[in-house]
Amino acid sequence: MAQQWDEDPPAGDLFDEASDLLGRNVLTWWQDPATVTDPVVAQLAVFVCGVAAHRSLISHGLRPVVLAGHSIGEYAALEASGALRFGELLAVVKRRAELMAEAAHCTPGAMAAVVGDGAPTVARDVVAMHRGEGGLVLANENGPTQAVISGSVEAVEQAQAEVLDVGLRCVRLRVAGAFHSPLMRSAAEQFDEVLATLAWSTPSVPVIPNVDAVPTRNPDRLSALLRRQMLAPVRWAATSHALGQLALDAVVECGAIPTLGPLIRQVHPSLPTYLLTSAEALPPSLVSAAAFVSTSTA
């Protein structure tokens, strides 16, 4: 994720700043294969790469009119909007990942993606059948053909079998715990104290929060919703609807592979989406009226 952006000075400077603040070279750290499932590495990498991509792209003329991010990507969107400062958020993201890892260690959990036509309905029905058993919930409403369930390992495995029985795919995700589920409650309670210390500013452009998918520049609203985010489902399908209601020329996604763009196109097939892995890939036509979205991990 970082390699292409690191070649552009504004992004490279940000990676250096992150390395200084964290006390280690982040690019070397993140490239270690042993860290591939480490939630601290994953969340820091997604956050820092999202901010780096934004700084690189605006230095080349991109002027986003709205920002959004999926799960940890929302933190990158908030930084890019000017609502929160990078150094402060870097420490917060690190603490978020540590608390989630601790909760996952104490209460093992899993996540699985339900894939196919009507996936959100099937996922909701399966979750309803379990009536909260094993903390099973709908964690991500990503689009018409994709939803993610989260809960105890046993509950997710049972739900996978039930999804397969109705003819849809159900793919276990390579994550360390049951994110966006009640199994994260201990982490969320401790993290709320961390979020309460943040110093908010009014963002320069609207941000679309995960919790309600309603664009806003109100820092009090953004703060309140961020404090609910760890336990609430990510409403990405609703975010895609919100993007489609705006007068956008295109949506720009930063990330290593196309993830959010295809989900947005499921909701709004006529809205152009671009995956940019470096500033050199920025088309000149996208310097205004674009949305900037940041890829997620958990």
- Residues annotated as catalytic are 71, 180
Q: Which residues contact 135 (CB under 8 A, 6 or more apart)?
A: 109, 150, 151, 152, 155, 178, 181, 182, 183
- Residue 132 DSSP class: T
Token look-up 């099937």 returns 122
Chain centroid, CA 87 distance in Å: 19
Distance CA 8, CA 143 (A): 33
* Residue in the structure block whose two tokens are 């952006």: 5
- For residues 199 and 222, what is the distance between their CA atoms, to the nearest angstrom? 12
C-alpha 148/C-alpha 205 separation (Å) is: 29
What is the C-alpha separation between 246 and 268, in angstroms, rounded? 12
How far apart (Å, rounded) are the C-alpha atoms in residues 288 and 64?
A: 6
- Phi and psi of 216, rounded to 5°? -155, 150
Contact by Cβ (8 Å): 264, 258 = no
Give buried/exposed letters for 202-227 (b at 16+ CB in 10 A, else e): ebebbbbbbbbbebeeebeebbebbb
On the CB side of 126, CA atoms within 13 Å amount to 33
Q: Is 128 exposed, middle or buried (0-12, 13-18, 19+ CB in 10 A)?
A: exposed
